[in-house]
Amino acid sequence: MCLIVTVTASASDRRKFEAASRQLGADGLRVDVEHLSRWPWAREQPVRAVISEAGGCACSLLSDDADWNAEVWAFRHDVLARLAATLQSLAGSVTDGATVEALWIGDNVKETRSVSTADLVELARTNRLGTRTRYEVLSSPPSLL
């Protein structure tokens, strides 16, 4: 089983989203953005990015005491700033909002929270991303922290 950290944005924000992922550079985490299908109807589908250290799953971002049954993920302290910066860049690049999930493969979302980009970044920076939580990053929701 693996941890998958995803950020999803609307199709209309694809160009800005892809540009933000390219600008992260070597100091950020790896961001793999799904590419457009050759089928015209697929261009209307949301764009999805997977965040990891070296491609694939995000298990290497977790500390040794991480527990998928806990309320929040226990990420390694040395990756928190990079994770927060990556989420800020991706979620902050879009105008139609984004969703962020850090789910163990096979787990379902149990809670959805509306947050600002700043709130999401603070959750990541302080190691409080929920294990079964979908974060809807909106342009100006009330602060929930």
In terms of residue numbers, what domain contains 126?
Answer: 3-137
Evaluate whether residue 142 is within a structural domain. no
pLDDT of 56 reads 87
Sign, Cα dihedral of 117, 137, 78, 111: positive
Evaluate whether residue 14 is within a structural domain. yes
Evaluate whether residue 66 is within a structural domain. yes
Residue pair 15/21 in contact (Cβ under 8 Å)? The answer is no
What separation in angstroms does the CA of 22 have from each of 9, 40, 75, 105, 138?
Answer: 16, 24, 24, 26, 22
pLDDT of 15 reads 87
- pLDDT, mean of each 10-residue run, the chain (145 residues): 92 88 79 76 82 92 92 97 95 92 95 96 97 88 51
Evaluate whether residue 70 is within a structural domain. yes
CA-angle at 24, arms to 79 and 98, nearest 5°: 85
Kindly state the helix (H) or strand (E) to which residue 75 belongs, with its residue range.
Answer: none
Number of domains comprising the chain:
1
At residue 52, the 3 state secondary structure works out as strand
pLDDT of 34 reads 85
pLDDT of 30 reads 92
Evaluate whether residue 143 is within a structural domain. no
